[in-house]
Amino acid sequence: MVTAPLATAQQGADDSMDRFLDRMSQRLEERLGVKSLARGYKHDASGTPTSTGYIHGPGGLLSYPGVDPDVFHTVVGAKGILGQLPVRPARDTNPLFSVITGVGDDSGAEKTEVCDPAPTAGILSACMLSSVFARYERATPELEINRLGQRTDRSDPMDLRLVGTPLADSAAFLSGPAAQGTPGNLLQNEVAQRMWELGVSLHRLLSRQLWTGNPANNNGDAYRELTSFPILVNTGHADVLTNTSCPSIDSDVKDFDYADVATAGSDLVNALTYIFRTRRSLAERTGVTPVRWVLVMREELFYEVSAVWPCAYLTYRCSFGDNEAARLLVSGDEQTKLRIAMREGRYLMIDDQQVEVVFDDGIPMQTSTSGGTGSGNVPNGAFASDIYLIPMSILGGRAVTYLEHFDYSNPDIRSAIAGLEPGAYTVDGPWITTTRRSIWCFNWQTKIEPRLILRTPWLAGRLQNVVAMPLQYTRSPFPDDPYFVAGGGVTTRSGPSYFTPLWGA
């Protein structure tokens, strides 16, 4: 059971997830060549280090003399709910969450005589929920120790600075100088660069797994996926101990049946209104208000929805009976003001309430060519995806949707690490990192075991298979996505060319 707001639990955590990049790069820089790599670790690296991707030195990407110190980028960051989820450490592998699901009906007949027994009150029923840890790992490219810190010559620029960051929208998860998620020495230090690349990779991975993870895809204990939002915001919840159905815990899931928002605006307003209205009523009747809800959808979908919402919202329940001559006048100025306000404030007006909207690139979308069930219902040039109503907190701040991670800083692990070579493992809150080495070649491998928890699925909702047809799609942050734009350019440059000296003749 959660007994206090997670904000308190987060403050008490020694190392939280959102400071990962800063600490990892700093600590590994301190250890590089001093502690970690000077110890006799198991020699299990391949011994074939990468020859590309270095910033400085011979063949360095940015070592060209005279280059301007301001370096711009086209790396697209992943927008999503990941940066808004509270995070806390945990050690229980199979926690149990008990939910009182109701009080049964009275039994027995009403009295006919004064001294007859009265009907018996109904009894409590409960459902037990649980969640399990996932396991994800990523590694840096293999490096050669003496390749780090090289400069071609005095013209190799060391005053470079990155302008902007692709991780600005995810500062709560990765953080960094000025909460920008990018190490300040990214373009000077090869280790900081590799750690930043590792952070980008992990952020992309987890951003998607929140929406696609499924423990059914586990590969033993080597690779495990978390229980994602589509599984949690769903119907069919059951007691984890007895498999008894618990319908009162089910979310409100509706199917928009591949209708296009451009032509079904009133139906869209009606569907989302009833999802929100019934969840808000349930929150009030179970005594957990105020609740902070967010609508989570793809960015492309929000702009198509907000384009039709003002007209549909202002008129969708208007009825004039058989009076065909009746007309309703809604001014264009009124609709424009509502559309501008919703887009600037990033919300939808539902039941006279401003419901916050969060963009998430990780929500899957179907297209006419994506394959799978339902893709045949999506017109060419359009896409279909889901809209989620997620309860973030109840009772004015008590988090009910959050991430937990296995606590690698627990006393047992710290005791074990203390008995190994100094620097064999680096523990940074949610992350544990080790070095794989072979003579002068090495790389880092890091692991996280997270789980997504939604304590109140009955306060959540989902509208499935909503179709939109934007004129143009935004760039995707995921390299395997059809709307990802490859960066282009090179991963290495030709090193300096010199005439062969006398001893090489």
Q: What is the DSSP string of 101-164?
A: EEEPPPBSPPPSSTTSPPPBPP-EEEEEEE----BEEEEPPPEEGGGTT--SSTTS----EE-S
The share of the chain scoring above pLDDT 90, in percent, equals 50
Q: Which of 458, 456, 407, 393 is nearest to 4 (CA)?
A: 393
Lowest mean pLDDT segment, chosen from 51-55, 164-168, 295-299: 164-168
Q: Residue 423's pLDDT is what?
A: 79
Supply the Cα-derived Rg of the chain in whole angstroms.
28
Residue range 472-501: mean pLDDT, rounded: 79
Q: Does residue 337 or residue 199 have the better pLDDT?
A: 337
In angstroms, rounded to a whole number, what is the distance separating the alpha carbons of residues 110 and 106?
Answer: 10
What tokens does 219 get? 């590969």
Percentage of the chain lying above the pLDDT 70 cut: 85
Task: Kindly indicate the confidence band of residue 321, based on its pLDDT and cuts at 50, 70 and 90.
Answer: low
Spatial distance between the Cα atoms of 403 and 209, rounded to a whole number of angstroms: 12
Q: Mind listing the pLDDT tens digit for each residue in 76-87?
A: 878 889 889 999
Helix (H, G, I), strand (E, B) or coil at 342: helix
pLDDT of residue 61: 85
282 in Cβ contact with 458 (< 8 Å): yes
The pLDDT score that the predictor gives to residue 502 is: 66
Q: What is the DSSP string of 229-292?
A: HHHHSSS--B-TTT--B-GGG--EEEE-TT-BTTT-HHHHHHHHHHHHHHHHHHHHHTT--S-E
CA distance 426 to 56: 27
What is the per-residue pLDDT for 179? 30
Strands (E) across 313-456 are located at 347-350, 353-359, 383-394, 398-399, 401-406, 425-428, 431-438, 441-448, 450-454
CB-based contacts of 286, cutoff 8 Å, min separation 6: none
- What mean pLDDT do residues 266-286 have? 97
More confident residue, 336 or 502: 336
Q: Higher-confidence residue: 169 or 242? A: 242
Which of 26-35, 242-251, 289-298, 306-315 has the weakest average pLDDT?
26-35
- Name the average pLDDT for the chain: 84
In sign, the C-alpha dihedral spanning 118, 120, 104, 395 is: positive
Taking the C-alpha atoms of residue 395 and residue 422, their distance in angstroms, rounded to an integer, is 46
pLDDT at 492 over 90: no
More confident residue, 107 or 355: 355
pLDDT one-digit tens code per residue, 418-473:
998 887 898 887 889 998 888 899 999 999 999 999 999 999 999 999 999 999 98
pLDDT of residue 206: 92
Strands 136-139 vs 431-438: parallel, antiparallel or unpaired? unpaired
Supply the pLDDT for residue 34: 35
- pLDDT of 169 reads 52
What digits encode the pLDDT tens for the residues 206-258? Answer: 999 999 999 999 999 999 999 999 999 999 999 999 999 999 999 999 999 99
Per the listing, tokens 């010199």 go with 498
Does residue 411 have a cis peptide bond before it, meaning omega lies within 30 degrees of 0?
no
Rounded to whole angstroms, how far apart are CA atoms 464 and 256? 6
pLDDT digits (tens, 9 = 90+) for 53-102: 888 888 888 888 888 888 888 888 788 898 899 999 999 999 999 999 98
User: Under the phi-then-psi rule, with left for phi > 0, alpha for psi from -120 to 50, and beta for the rest, what region is 196?
Assistant: alpha
Residue 24 and residue 471: Cα distance in Å, rounded? Answer: 42
CA 357 to chain centre: 15
Among 296, 304, 305, smallest CA distance to 358 is for: 296
**270 or 189, greater pLDDT:** 270
Question: What is the CB neighbour count within 10 angstroms for residue 414?
Answer: 12
CA nearest neighbour of 386 among 243, 252, 245, 193? 252
Partner residues linked to 185 by β-bridges: none
Would you state the pLDDT for residue 429? 75
Contacts for 36 with CB less than 8 Å, ≥ 6 apart: 28, 422, 423, 424, 426, 435
Phi, psi of 274 (to 5 degrees): -75, -30
Please measure the distance between the N-terminal and C-terminal CA atoms of the chain and give it in whole angstroms: 77
Question: Which of 105-114, 181-190, 347-356 has the weakest average pLDDT?
Answer: 181-190
For residues 110 and 28, the model is more confident at 110
Task: Report the C-alpha gap between 460 and 462 in whole angstroms.
Answer: 7
Give the whole-angstrom CA distance, residue 295 versus residue 385. 13
Give mean pLDDT, residues 188-200: 85
* Higher per-residue confidence, 145 vs 478: 145
3-55: per-residue pLDDT in tens?
344 444 334 443 444 454 445 445 544 444 333 443 444 547 787 888 888 88
Say how many C-beta atoms besides its own lie within 10 A of residue 324's C-beta. Answer: 7
d(CA 248, CA 238): 10
Task: Pick the range with the lowest mean pLDDT from 182-196, 210-224, 384-398.
Answer: 182-196
User: Token pair of 344, please?
Assistant: 């600037």
